């Protein structure tokens, strides 16, 4: 019995390890955040392993059943839509229950969106904090106030629909001259990394429009 956490490509289907493919082939069951998205990846690599849905809307309901299946001797692989399970994606609850039950858990190395965004940003990365998605309403003001004095580089995930609103908030709390890099469509054909001050980058996307998955890398306070 064992649970494997499998990082999946964040865009380019070639960005999966040979080992990950072998583990997916050898598993009894693949837990997929979205069976349609994972199905594209599995079809690309001709992986025939059965899938079942495991996502934020059903994880509490199916948790104990999955733990029981693992305890019966099954090997399972958790595959989220893009990146590493548990990083702004489902996975934590299942991992915690497996640890409590003494079920071995192994996470394979692989794709995570914030790492290439951080590395290519040109912003210091010797110390950084990963903030994931900001709260939409409750707690947003408190968190941004706390982060406004943080000297570490900060990494955020954001949707294209909310990017301009978030950049406006950053200008308000961090000032228009704070350096930032907005990465979108990482590993895909139209990958873009826009660097500059918050005001410059905000004005750029206001004029151009925003498409694709977004990672924001924001410099800490000087």
Q: What is the pLDDT of residue 1?
A: 92
Apex 136 CA angle, 159 and 165, nearest 5: 55
**Distance set, CA 168 to CA 2, 60, 61, 157 (Å):** 45, 36, 39, 15
Name the pLDDT band for 41 (thresholds 50, 70, 90).
very high
Q: Where in the chain is the domain with CATH 3.30.950.10?
A: 114-218
**Domain 2-107, CATH homologous superfamily name and number:** Tetrapyrrole methylase, N-terminal domain (3.40.1010.10)
Three-class SS state of 95: helix
Rounded to whole angstroms, how far apart are CA atoms 128 and 97?
29
Q: What is the pLDDT of residue 104?
A: 97
Q: What is the pTM for the complete model shown?
A: 0.92
Q: What is the pLDDT of residue 208?
A: 92
Mean pLDDT for the stretch of residues 43-71: 95
Rounded to whole angstroms, how far apart are CA atoms 110 and 79?
12
Which of 30, 125, 114 minimizes the C-alpha distance to 80? 30
Rounded to whole angstroms, how far apart are CA atoms 86 and 222?
31
Q: What is the pLDDT of residue 97?
A: 96
Architecture category of domain 114-218 in CATH: 2-Layer Sandwich (3.30)
Mean pLDDT for the stretch of residues 143-167: 97
Q: What is the pLDDT of residue 202?
A: 98
Mean pLDDT for the stretch of residues 200-205: 98
Q: What is the pLDDT of residue 214?
A: 97
Q: Across the chain, what does the average pLDDT equal?
A: 96
Name the pLDDT band for 218 (thresholds 50, 70, 90).
very high
Q: What is the pLDDT of residue 192?
A: 96
Q: What is the pLDDT of residue 12?
A: 95
Strand ranges (DSSP E) for the chain? 2-6, 29-32, 51-53, 75-79, 105-107, 128-133, 153-158, 179-184, 192-197, 214-218
Rounded to whole angstroms, how far apart are CA atoms 121 and 118?
5
According to DSSP, residue 83 is labeled B
Rounded to whole angstroms, how far apart are CA atoms 126 and 104?
32
Which tens digit of pLDDT belongs to each residue from 179-200?
A: 999 999 999 999 999 999 999 9
| The 128-133 sheet, strands edge to edge | 128-133, 153-158, 214-218, 179-184, 192-197
**Distance set, CA 142 to CA 61, 127, 145, 162, 173 (Å):** 32, 22, 5, 19, 11
Q: Where in the chain is the domain with CATH 3.40.1010.10?
A: 2-107
Which tens digit of pLDDT belongs to each residue from 60-82?
A: 999 999 999 999 999 999 999 99
Which tens digit of pLDDT belongs to each residue from 12-25?
A: 999 999 999 999 99
Name the pLDDT band for 107 (thresholds 50, 70, 90).
very high
Q: Percentage of the chain surpassing pLDDT 70?
A: 100
Three-class SS state of 156: strand
């Amino acid at each position: 019995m064992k649970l494997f956490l499998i990082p999946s490509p964040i865009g380019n289907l070639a960005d999966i390890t040979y080992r990950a493919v072998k583990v997916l082939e050898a598993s009894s069951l693949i837990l997929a955040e979205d069976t349609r998205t994972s199905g594209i990846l599995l079809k690309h690599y001709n992986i025939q392993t059965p899938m079942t849905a495991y996502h934020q809307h059903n994880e509490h309901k199916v948790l104990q059943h999955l733990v029981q299946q693992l305890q019966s001797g099954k090997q399972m692989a958790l595959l989220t839509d893009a990146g590493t399970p548990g990083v702004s994606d489902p996975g934590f609850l299942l991992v915690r229950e497996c640890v409590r039950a003494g079920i071995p858990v192994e996470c394979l190395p692989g794709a995570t969106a914030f790492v290439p965004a951080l590395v290519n940003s040109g912003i210091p990365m010797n110390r950084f904090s990963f903030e994931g998605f900001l709260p939409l309403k409750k707690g947003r003001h408190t968190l941004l106030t706390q982060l406004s004095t943080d000297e570490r580089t900060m990494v955020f995930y954001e949707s294209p629909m909310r990017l301009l609103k978030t950049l406006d908030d950053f200008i308000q709390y961090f000032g228009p001259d704070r350096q930032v890099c907005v990465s979108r469509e990482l590993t895909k054909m139209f990958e873009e990394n826009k660097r500059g001050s918050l005001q410059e980058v905000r004005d750029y996307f206001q004029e151009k429009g925003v498409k694709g998955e977004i990672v924001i890398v924001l410099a800490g306070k000087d």
